Amino acid sequence: MARKYTKRNNAVIAAQDTTVAFSTANQSLKLYLMSQNFNYSVGFPTQKLKQLGAEDLAFQETFSQPDVNLNISYIPEPNCSNEVMGRFIDTTSNWTSQFKNMFDVEDQYSATNLYVLVGDDQGGDFLDKIEFYSSLNLSGDSALAFGNCYPTSYSLSYGVGTMPVVSTSYICSNMVFDPLTGTHMEMPAINLTGGNNDGVGYCDFTFATSLGSDAAEKSPAVINPTNSNSSVTLENLQVGGQNLSGVHYIQSVDMSVDLPRVSSYGLGNDYSYNRKPQFPAQGSFNVSSLVSGMDSGSITGVLANNEDYSFQLILSSSAAYGSPKMIYEIEEAKLESVSYEMPLNGLMSFNASFSFAVTKDKGLRLSGTRYPS
């Protein structure tokens, strides 16, 4: 049935299977796994000038290429495939229990191209079309393609009764709407040095796998925070109060990192030729817990010795793939605030907020598990 409107089963999100955005060679795709939502916005920079002798504007034009702000959320999986494709961590073939520093990606490899592919069949699932390592003819379908996507934020949130969700943001240099014909389309990337896409290669509608298994690619391991192998490891507060080490009743965890970028422009080029990251990136970590026991301490102690805190979040999957897991480590965090609440007909709760700085060398580290084995 021809599509009258677009539903979630009609569309998939894919990333270009390469470490650079602009390429003269043709490139294949990889699925963005377990995508939940995407949205974008475009701002058009307009210069408005007046002059003596006239009431009306003398000039009102867009003077540079607009930036595109793209947001994508997904449920994380243990191989951290989306983090690699989204350029939040450097490419790794096998984890072997090693940690990667978040945002430790060389500048020339820090952008990618992202695609939203929409099928023309109202009742059909787009995933059913995909045969990995086979060229797909997507004639009649359509694409929304984003070029030169630089990551600007990363957040993780989960709690009792909710699945972990990662939310990511990008600033992009180009966006293309394309009714598709055949087995490829021109890549949306811009050669930012020259300010054009001369010689850009094609995006081939051939999907490679991140996990090495067709079944795992379409139905990856699902992270479950209530799994017995999942845990939240915290340190007791220097100011006393709720005991955070050992057994505790965590209700929710929120972590976020914002990485601002400076867009550089030059004469003779409509596009930003560089989007330099501004380190250190600023991170925040918030934890909510039921109050189960108090530890000794005093708020005056923080003035004499404001020590750092370290936290570890372990998220494990089911035994179907051998219980793979991903681990976040937050380093050198500082306590920002604490609060307690005792409702009339509820349980006493505790909230703590921390801040931490992220550089290419420290602050936030991530480890994953290659699966299926």
**pLDDT for res 27:** 95
Q: Above 80 in pLDDT, residue 245?
A: no
Q: How far is CA 226 from the centre of its chain?
A: 23
Q: How far is CA 309 from the centre of its chain?
A: 25
Please name the amino acid found at residue 113.
Answer: N
The strand pair at 67-74 and 162-172 is best described as: antiparallel
Q: Residue 55: which residues within 8 A CB-CB, separation 6 or more? A: none
Confidence of residue 171 (pLDDT cuts 50, 70, 90): very high
Residue 47 lies in a domain: no
Mean pLDDT of 191-203: 91
Residue 46 lies in a domain: no
Confidence of residue 92 (pLDDT cuts 50, 70, 90): low
Residue 50 lies in a domain: no
**pLDDT for res 7:** 82
**pLDDT for res 19:** 85
Phi, psi of 23 (to 5 degrees): -150, 145
**pLDDT for res 270:** 81
Confidence of residue 65 (pLDDT cuts 50, 70, 90): confident
Domain count, the chain: 1
Mean pLDDT of 205-214: 90
Q: Above 70 in pLDDT, residue 262?
A: yes
Angle at 40 between CA 36 and CA 41, to 5 degrees: 160
Q: Residue 128: which residues within 8 A CB-CB, separation 6 or more? A: none
Confidence of residue 76 (pLDDT cuts 50, 70, 90): very high
Q: Residue 33: which residues within 8 A CB-CB, separation 6 or more? A: 74, 77, 81, 82, 210, 217, 220
The Cα-based distances of 158 to 61, 163, 246, 319 in angstroms read: 45, 6, 20, 21
Average pLDDT, rounded, for the chain: 88
Closest by Cα among 317, 371, 357, 314 to 101:
357
Closest by Cα among 207, 172, 202 to 184:
202
Residue 77 lies in a domain: yes
Q: How far is CA 236 from the centre of its chain?
A: 30
Residue 204 lies in a domain: yes
Residue 2 lies in a domain: no
Distance between CA atoms of 169 and 177, rounded to whole angstroms? 20
**pLDDT, greater one: 46 or 359:** 359
Confidence of residue 88 (pLDDT cuts 50, 70, 90): very high
Q: Above 80 in pLDDT, residue 300?
A: no
Mean pLDDT of 347-356: 92
Q: Above 80 in pLDDT, residue 320?
A: no
Q: Taking a C-beta distance cutoff of 8 angstroms, is the pair 82, 33 a contact?
A: yes
Q: Above 90 in pLDDT, residue 6?
A: no
Name the range with the highest mean pLDDT among 16-25, 30-39, 208-217. 30-39
Q: Taking a C-beta distance cutoff of 8 angstroms, is the pair 156, 166 a contact?
A: yes
Domain assignment of residue 123, given as a range: 8-41+60-367
Q: What does the H/E/C string look like for the chain?
A: CECCCCCHHHEEEEEECCCCCCCCCCEEEEECCCEEEEEEEEECCEEEECCCCCCCCCEEEECCCCEEEEEEEECCCCCCHHHHHCCCCCCCCCCCCCCEECCCCCHHHCCEEEEEEECCECCCCHHHHCCCCCECCCCCCEEEEEEEEEEEEEEEEEECCEEEEEEEEEEECEEEEEECCCCEEECCCCECCCCECCCCCEEEEEEECCCCCHHHHHCCCCEECCCCCCEEECCCCCCCEECCCCCCEEEEEEEEEECCEEEECCCCCCCCCEEEECCCEEEEEEEEEECCCEECCCCCHHHHCCCCEEEEEEEEECHHHCCCEEEEEEEEEEEEEEEEECCCCCCCEEEEEEEEEECCCCCEEEECCCCCC
Q: Above 70 in pLDDT, residue 94?
A: no
Question: Can you name the residues that pair with 71 across neighbouring β-strands?
Answer: 39, 169
Residue 52 lies in a domain: no
Residue 53 lies in a domain: no
Please name the amino acid found at residue 8.
Answer: R
The strand pair at 349-358 and 35-43 is best described as: unpaired
